[in-house]
Amino acid sequence: MKGLVKKVVLADSLAVFVSMLQDQTTFVGTWVLALSYTFQLYFDFSGYSDMAIGIGRWFGFDIPKNFNHPYIADSVQNFWRRWHISLSTWFRDYVYIPLGGSRVDVPLIVRNIVIVWVLTGIWHGANATYIVWGVYYALLLLGERFFFKPVLARIPRPVRIVLIFLIANAGWVFFAAPSISQAFVRLGCMSGIASGFADTQALFALGQAKWLLLFSMIASTPAIDTVQNWIFARFGRNGMVGLAGVYCVLFAACISLLVASTSQTFLYAAF
């Protein structure tokens, strides 16, 4: 049920703003676009994975968790231990470790990480934007491993979480953009370089999306699971019955959206 809500209610609602703002070149517009895509991608794919796990259990299969709240990661390495866990594990076990992993000299460690992340980019598609995205993470992981880890350790954890989220958000710009040049244009606009602050469309989108984006931020953390577990512990059977009623309402809302044809195809199916 959670997976269906993530996909139909959250991801598909965010997709409206992603589609609306494709031509934005203002500071506000490109930030709303980037954040909408960042959360759309997460809820689309984690929702898909949650549904696969649930359906698998119907048939007696225990499918491992594929996402573990990646947007609360406090390092780049930790992010990739939480995002698309099955893919990260596969590349670790079948590419990185057979190449020697971290048990080799530093130049070979650099080679291994670059190879893994270039291949990870190619795995997502033949577009050059995915290769640049792979190189982006290779450089980040190398920098974190050899230079920045002591610096990160001195930064308060909440600040690290925000920093890693912004790094991930910038990386997804390459996923959303149709070309490398367009990706860099959007990143430039997000930094305030050669762009206006906002236009009518950007302000309209911000006004419409602000509460959805805020809820998406909350829903991407363990907060909802924590509240649900507290209700179970505090109210026992009555709490379970109450939550079951909430899920029934959400299920009805999802069916209504599906029937109304407001749902979108799975975004991650393109990769």
What lies within 8 Å, CB to CB, of 209 at 6+ separation is 14, 17, 32, 36
Give CA angle at 163 (160, 164), nearest 5°.
85
Per-residue pLDDT tens over the stretch 97-146: 999 988 999 999 999 999 999 999 999 887 899 999 999 999 999 999 99
Tell me the residue range of the domain where 32 lies. Answer: 2-270
CA–CA distance, 183 with 132 (Å, rounded to integer):
10
3-state secondary structure of 14: helix
3-state secondary structure of 23: coil
Q: How many domains does the chain have?
A: 1
- Per the annotation, the verdict on 69 as an active-site residue is no
Catalytic-labelled residue, pool 7, 84, 124, 186 = 124
Per-residue pLDDT tens over the stretch 23-57: 999 999 999 999 999 999 999 999 888 888 888 88
Phi, psi of 239 (to 5 degrees): -65, -40
* 0.85 surpassed by pTM: yes
* Average pLDDT over all residues of the chain: 87
